[in-house]
Amino acid sequence: MDLVRSFATPGHEPIACVELHTVGMPTRIIVKGYPEISGTLAEQKAEALEQHDAIRQRILSEPRGHFDMFGAILRPHTELTKSHKAHMGVLYIHPDGYSNMCGHATIALGRFLVDTHDLEVFPQRDQLKYDPTTGTSLVVLHTPGGLVEVTVPTNSDGSRSDPTRPITFEAVPAFALTTDYTLPIKPENRWPELGRRDSINVSFAYCSAFSCQVSIQELGFPHDGLQSRPMLEALRFATSQVRRTINSNEEYRSLLKVPGKPGLDRCIFGVMVVDKAWGTAHEGTRGGETGLYFFGKGHIDRSPTGSMAAARAAVAFAKGELSIGDSWTYHSLVSNSTSTSPGLVATILRLVTSNGVSYEDHEPSARPVIVQIKGYASYTGFHTFVYEEHDHLPRKGFLLSRLE
């Protein structure tokens, strides 16, 4: 459109995005207009952060986005796309920065990458393998967390995704780090609903990010759990206190370690509030539950959170509640609110034998697992974002809750 081009000034190219949601959680995929960046995916991530972070902030923040927004930047040329180990590279973006992996966005990306035939956007589109027996195409993503295989159901010649069948992907290895740990909460870190208690029972896991899992009852919220729709602000505060408790204490942070990955930032990225008593089991699964995930600095995932479904399955496996081959349904407040949404289904596929270190000698329950995640994504729109030189607001936009 001529008007769009008229906004193109040096350093302010219009940015074209394709938008999908996965169980209500948006993925704003930047497909055109992002500045040239090159090198390995890790180098591109560093350059994105150092040179172009205002774009991430502008695309996700208000007035174009909101506090709980999520997105992805396509990176067609990485060391693994060049060596044909992956079809496409991706940087996941959220309001506080860049994620190593993201489940709900991976489902959205898989769908879009099958549907687009724009070789400028996706140079390796024609390399996708279509399997006529299963009617699916395989998309291999190079993510900062590792290679991720996404299986996308398609029409009969593989040219378009089939929205009536779920997309699946194999999450990066999921580790249960500590289960049923008694976490003391110092008086200054407590929240009103905790009442007289001074500790809570939590589990720690890692699946591309460190997370803490805690039941809503442990946090002191009503015994009818998430179903009673507790105040989100109160839960946001309670989970931020849990995060603060862990991230400010060396003893707890020392529990956040993954064999073979010494350089990880030992901090909790998100707190998953779990309600095991609520959630319809999808067909073929052993049961269901609901969760509400607060990630980064308190952003709420509308979906059941793909990476956390894998992390929760890993904890359930470590505790002997699920076995290899078992499937479980993970719901969110949103999926529970529509009778037709199956949420996400996690299936524990296999034990990891090595991941930088060998796990052969470990007890099975102490080994990481590969979990398959299944879910749907739907298109919501196509946006082209511009920044007008004379806009009174900053280039990076703003967040109402963080106005100075």
Footprint on this chain of ligand HY3 (rule: CB under 6 A): 25, 70, 99, 102-104, 295, 301, 303, 305-307
Q: Which is nearer to ligand HY3, 25 or 183 (CB)?
A: 25
Q: Residue 49: which residues within 8 A CB-CB, separation 6 or more?
A: 97, 98
Q: What are phi and psi of 113, to 5 degrees?
A: -70, -25
CB of 390 closer than 8 Å to CB of 48: no
Quote the CA–CA distance of 391 and 404 in Å, as a whole number: 18
Q: Which is nearer to ligand HY3, 17 or 371 (CB)?
A: 371
Q: Which amino acid type is present at position 390?
A: H
Q: Which is nearer to ligand HY3, 104 or 125 (CB)?
A: 104
CB of 253 closer than 8 Å to CB of 246: yes
Q: Which is nearer to ligand HY3, 14 or 368 (CB)?
A: 368
Min dist. Cβ of residue 353 to ligand HY3 (A): 24
Q: Which is nearer to ligand HY3, 287 or 296 (CB)?
A: 296
Quote the CA–CA distance of 50 and 33 in Å, as a whole number: 18
Q: Which is nearer to ligand HY3, 135 or 296 (CB)?
A: 296
Min dist. Cβ of residue 302 to ligand HY3 (A): 9
Min dist. Cβ of residue 210 to ligand HY3 (A): 12
Exposed/middle/buried for 363, CB within 10 Å: 0-12, 13-18, 19+? exposed
Hey, what are 58's tokens?
Answer: 């502008």
Q: What's the N-to-C CA distance of the chain in angstroms?
A: 36
Q: Which is nearer to ligand HY3, 295 or 328 (CB)?
A: 295
Give Cα separations from 104 to 150, 158, 168, 179 (angstroms). Answer: 12, 22, 11, 25
Quote the CA–CA distance of 319 and 334 in Å, as a whole number: 28
Min dist. Cβ of residue 103 to ligand HY3 (A): 3
Min dist. Cβ of residue 116 to ligand HY3 (A): 22
Min dist. Cβ of residue 295 to ligand HY3 (A): 4
Min dist. Cβ of residue 364 to ligand HY3 (A): 25
Min dist. Cβ of residue 303 to ligand HY3 (A): 6
Min dist. Cβ of residue 174 to ligand HY3 (A): 11
Q: Which amino acid type is present at position 335?
A: S
Min dist. Cβ of residue 301 to ligand HY3 (A): 4
Q: Which is nearer to ligand HY3, 72 or 386 (CB)?
A: 72
Q: Which is nearer to ligand HY3, 92 or 387 (CB)?
A: 92
**β-pairing verdict for 25-32 and 71-75:** parallel
Q: Which is nearer to ligand HY3, 102 or 292 (CB)?
A: 102
Quote the CA–CA distance of 192 and 221 in Å, as a whole number: 10
Min dist. Cβ of residue 272 to ligand HY3 (A): 10
185-194: which pairs have CB atoms within 8 A and are 24 or more residues apart?
A: 185/241, 185/242, 185/245, 186/245, 189/241, 189/244, 189/245, 190/241, 191/219, 191/220, 191/234, 191/237, 191/238, 191/241, 192/234, 193/219, 193/220, 193/221, 193/234, 193/238, 194/219, 194/220, 194/238
Q: Which is nearer to ligand HY3, 79 or 149 (CB)?
A: 149
